[in-house]
Amino acid sequence: MAVELEIPEGLRWTERVPAGREWLATLPDRLAECVRRWELRVGPPFPYAFASLAMPAELPDGTPAVLKLQYPDDDSVHEATALAHWAGRGAIRLLAHDAERRALLVERCVPGTPLHQLPPDRALDAVVELLPRLQVPAGPPFTTLAEEAAGWAERMPVNWERANRPYEQRLLDAALGLLADLVPSQGEQVLVNQDLHAGNVLWASREPWLVIDPKPLVGEREFAPMPMVRGAELGRSPAAVRHRLGRLSAELGLDRERVRGWAIVHTLAWSIGEGQVFPHQVEVVRWLLGDE
């Protein structure tokens, strides 16, 4: 039997695209099936979730958890596999997984305060401690950074044209040029996370800070700080972006120019999605290219 479900504000974008509307139509039945299968008690969805329906849950023995029903995008296909690979070291634990329904039952962070509520430099201290723990050797079935980058190179010009060229061609040319240099010259391949921003690191009782919602790839270490460099959560200005780039590169022992290059490429690749343009992403690319 279907469950009555109110879609949270963070997921309202799905109502504007055909694939999103199709996904929304399946959610009540999928939710009911997961609640029944895992014998859960669930609360109202978290309002801020953007790429999945996520809600607090409680297991039969009272253990707090989170139930996630993923939007069927390619980036999150191996989220459960990454969580299992980390096995709770620096990331939330995977409690159960239903691949057919794209459903995950995961550890709930308590109190769950996001990292960006710390002063920016204290937050960066935590990132410097956390990132090396997550960069473990990995291989199949994870997508490689090289494979993902090939998709960006193919899609960026197409998306740019379809969106009526929302930014200068020189930005596109710069990103494509960096890709051509970065991809074949990568270093050691480890597990990295495309979406490790300061809203996806939460204060927890088991460890001080735990990563949630990974979008995993296998690529070089210089790719890993990129979401923290570009994210607005720890300050939105040219100076703040460059400060994060400098600190994380230096304190993690990384090549600053490679970190900067991956940040430019990925930020521009993610600046257009589902037909929507994200101007702040484009602005960050300009800052990283030294325009301001």
For the segment 51-82, what is each residue's pLDDT rounded down to a tens digit? Answer: 899 999 999 999 999 999 999 888 889 999 99
Domain 9-107 maps to which CATH number in 3.40.50.300, 3.30.200.20, 3.40.50.10210, 3.40.50.2300? 3.30.200.20
Contacts of residue 98, Cβ cutoff 8 Å, sequence gap at least 6: 34, 37, 104
Tens digit of each residue's pLDDT (9 = 90 or more) over 155-175: 999 999 999 999 999 999 999
**What is the overall mean pLDDT for the chain?**
94
Whole-angstrom distance, CA of residue 36 vs CA of residue 136: 35
Average pLDDT over residues 281-291: 93
Establish whether 125 is a catalytic residue.
no
Q: What is the pTM of this model?
A: 0.93
pLDDT at 13: 85
pLDDT at residue 2 is higher than 80: no
Rounded-to-5 percentages of helix, strand, coil across the chain? 50, 15, 35
* pLDDT of amino acid 9: 85
Going by C-beta distance under 8 Å and a sequence separation of 6 or more, which residues neighbour residue 31? Answer: 3, 5, 42, 53, 67, 69
Separation of alpha carbons 267 and 179, rounded Å: 12
Task: Delimit the CATH 3.90.1200.10 region(s) of the chain.
Answer: 115-289
Q: Which of 144, 224, 216 is nearest to 183 (CA)?
A: 144
pLDDT at 275 over 80: no
Task: Tell me the average pLDDT across 223-246.
Answer: 97
Which amino acid, residue 195? D
Q: What is the pLDDT of residue 73?
A: 87
Angle at 150 between CA 74 and CA 193, to 5 degrees: 50
In this structure, the dihedral spanned by the alpha carbons of residues 127, 128, 130 and 136, taken in order and rounded to 10 degrees, is: 130
**In contact, 199 and 116? CB cutoff 8 Å:** yes
Q: Which of 30-34, 195-199, 234-238, 270-274 is predicted with the least confidence, judged by mean pLDDT?
A: 270-274
Give the Cα separation of 282 and 122 in Å (integer): 27
Q: What residues pair up with 106 in beta bridges, in sequence order?
A: 66, 94
Catalytic annotation, pick one of 75, 195, 255, 291? 195
State what percent of residues in the chain have pLDDT above 70.
Answer: 98
pLDDT in tens, 88-111: 999 999 999 999 999 999 999 999
Beta-bridge partners for 94 = 106
Of 290, 233, 285, 282, the C-alpha closest to 48 is 233
Q: Token pair 């400060």 is at which residue?
A: 243
- Supply 117's token pair: 């509520």
As annotated, the residues of the chain forming the CATH 3.30.200.20 domain(s) are 9-107
| Residue entry with tokens 């980390």 | 86
Per the CB < 8 A criterion, the answer to whether 197 and 227 are in contact is: yes
CATH of 115-289, one of 3.40.50.620, 3.60.120.10, 3.90.1200.10, 3.20.20.140: 3.90.1200.10
The Cα–Cα gap between 47 and 54 comes to 9
Categorize the per-residue pLDDT at 286 as very low, low, confident or very high, splitting at 50, 70 and 90: very high
> In this structure, is the dihedral angle defined by the CA atoms of residues 127, 239, 268 and 46, taken in order, positive or negative?
positive
Return phi, psi of residue 286, to 5°. -60, -45
Residue 242 has pLDDT above 90, yes or no: yes
Can you name the residues that pair with 98 across neighbouring β-strands?
A: 103
Percent of the chain with pLDDT over 90: 87
